[in-house]
Structure 1
């Protein structure tokens, strides 16, 4: 499967015009899904998209993740065509944000372990505060040995 799959991808990439090629990426979309019927509608809509390699519909998180050679706008339009309320996934994992409780980042409606992706929640790595935080970090090889 590996060689034939790669050969098929190569052949399809060569045949497409250059302006039509879309890089492989993962698109996350927030979709309001109440029941199994909603999940089936969304799955059916995502399956028929061209370039989809894999997808995951998570009713608990209200998220659809699509991986493949797809455009985010096309996926969003296709999911909206089912009649469901959908928008781009606005959250990032809590542990990837430096200041998760800054104004606008913390959201009560966010799934557990996620906060909103806002620019002022991430610190500049060159700032003095971040340099002081890295000074005593265990991953820093030059950290203080007293700690």
Structure 2
């Protein structure tokens, strides 16, 4: 019975609801910035955001790193409110990818030493690797699979 009374007193007594606490995380974004004014605009917008501990901007790579108790979609919205196009950082170091020079992963716009993240590409579309095309070309199950006419 004590549990029921406690539940009702919590429900009626306090008008506040408990918010889910945000986790400390690092959000990396790709934001195109050409001048110091653009960089300053993005830095000011992010540093005034609640929960942000630090903002690190590498203008040469178009990379913005935000650490703190923030949610990624809210950080993107805040950057977009400055008029800049923002997306989650799509690159990983090339030594973490099995085939870094396959067509969907290799990107000329990537910073030196980085390629596109294959997991992001695999989620957005079906990835066809060159090895898969060759194995379907020569098949023991279908003797007519590789016939030249």
2:30 partner SS = strand
Distance 1:22 1:120, change over 3 A: closer
In the alignment, structure 1 segments of 5+ residues that lack a partner are 1-15, 122-147
Q: Find out whether 1:109 has 2:128 as its counterpart.
A: no
Rg larger for: 2
TM-score after normalising by structure 1: 0.67
8 Å CA contact 2:23, 2:69 repeated in 1: yes
TM-score after normalising by structure 2: 0.66
Q: Match for residue 38 of structure 1?
A: 38
1:41-91 Cα deviation digits (max 9, x unpaired): 000011011111111011001010001110000000000100111111111
In the alignment, structure 2 segments of 5+ residues that lack a partner are 1-15, 122-149
Query: Which ranges of 4 or more aligned residues in structure 1 deviate by more than 2 Å?
Result: 16-20
Between the aligned partners of 1:74 and 1:120, the Cα distance in structure 2 is 20
Instruction: State the superposition RMSD in angstroms.
Output: 2.2
Distance 1:108 1:21, change over 3 A: same
